[in-house]
Amino acid sequence: MENLPLLDLRAFLHGTPAQKKSFVMDLGRAFSEIGFALIENHLVPPALQTAMYEKVEQFFALPLEIKMQYALPETAGQRGYTPPNQEHAKGRTVPDLKEFFHIGPEITDPTDPLYTQLPRNVWVKEVPGFRETFLEAYEKFMETGRALLRAIALYLELEETYFEPRIKNGPSLLRLLHYYPLGEGVEIPEGATRAAEHEDINLITLLIGASAEGLEVLTREGVWLAPKIEPHQMVINVGDMLQRLTNNRLRSTTHRVTLPPPEKRHLPRYSIPFFLHPRPEVSLACLPSCIDEAHPKAYPDITAEEYLNERLVELGLKK
């Protein structure tokens, strides 16, 4: 495999029935074989992408004492700023060389229990347009994610709208991510990297235009693939929740962000992934249609909230 499979979202949203069906099968095949794909003609427009990265750079350039005003440890890193040396990959103790900021849903319906259960967003007043830019970005990522989940539902021979009520107002996260420069004077702990090998927790992840290379995906053959990603393309991948739900039919694949070569370590890397989560009460019990004699049930029943809490403890974000 030289690169990740490339799909055009227009085929699903605006194509003929045959084009839509072809997209569904191609996405299902990609998620079954490697768990990753590239999407073009997604719903995050270029001007918004540019604005997002401008705001991200402005925020992370602020002094640490200002950024720390937006740290909310009581949310276990689910909102606001998380400083360096806080998050590590599952099974590791050395922290990743990164800092990040999380934005969740803005729930306006007071009759939804999540209106009071989920933490509120915090907005950075030192960066003009921060709130407006990332509220729009959140909605565009969510819109793209909904379309992809409709295609996945069809691939799994479920109702096309199967995921709709299960993700409405769920704790999906937009992560503003800064892999800080590693130039002279910055100590790199033994074994540390920008993001150690890991799998994502959620249903699907959508990643737009990282500012530098470094992403690598572990293929089924055990080879690390460094995908070639154009600026207009979005990387999408299966998370552990979808893998559990489909009894391993769709693959949550190990990936990492490697250290750059020494001559580039003084450069920062910015990235904006969107982690699409189901509502906390949603069951991740394996779908009956994904269980048969050749594929016995691989996981015990668990809710999305229970599973998320388990993983946040493993990542060092929650006690």
pLDDT digits (tens, 9 = 90+) for 208-264: 876 557 889 999 889 999 898 888 899 999 999 999 999 999 999 999 988 877 788
Residue spans of alpha helices (H) in the chain: 9-14, 17-33, 46-60, 64-67, 114-117, 130-155, 164-167, 240-245, 304-314
pLDDT score of 257: 84
User: Kind and range of the H or E element at 289?
Assistant: none
Domains and CATH numbers, the chain: 6-314 (2.60.120.330)
Average pLDDT over residues 17-36: 97
Q: In what order do the strands lie in the sheet with 224-225?
A: 195-198, 255-257, 215-218, 224-225
Q: Which are the contacts of 30, defined by CB distance < 8 A and separation ≥ 6?
A: 4, 5, 7, 36, 37
**Exposed, middle or buried, 315 (CB in 10 Å: 0-12/13-18/19+)?**
buried
CA 215 – CA 177 distance, rounded (Å): 13
pLDDT digits (tens, 9 = 90+) for 124-140: 999 999 999 999 999 99
DSSP 8-state secondary structure symbol assigned to residue 88? -
pLDDT digits (tens, 9 = 90+) for 255-295: 998 887 778 888 888 999 999 999 999 999 999 999 999 99
Q: Are 46 and 232 in contact (CB under 8 A)?
A: yes
3-state secondary structure of 252: coil
CA 224 – CA 219 distance, rounded (Å): 6
Q: In what order do the strands lie in the sheet with 269-276?
A: 6-8, 36-40, 234-238, 204-208, 269-276, 173-179, 99-103, 80-82
pLDDT score of 1: 66
pLDDT score of 260: 78
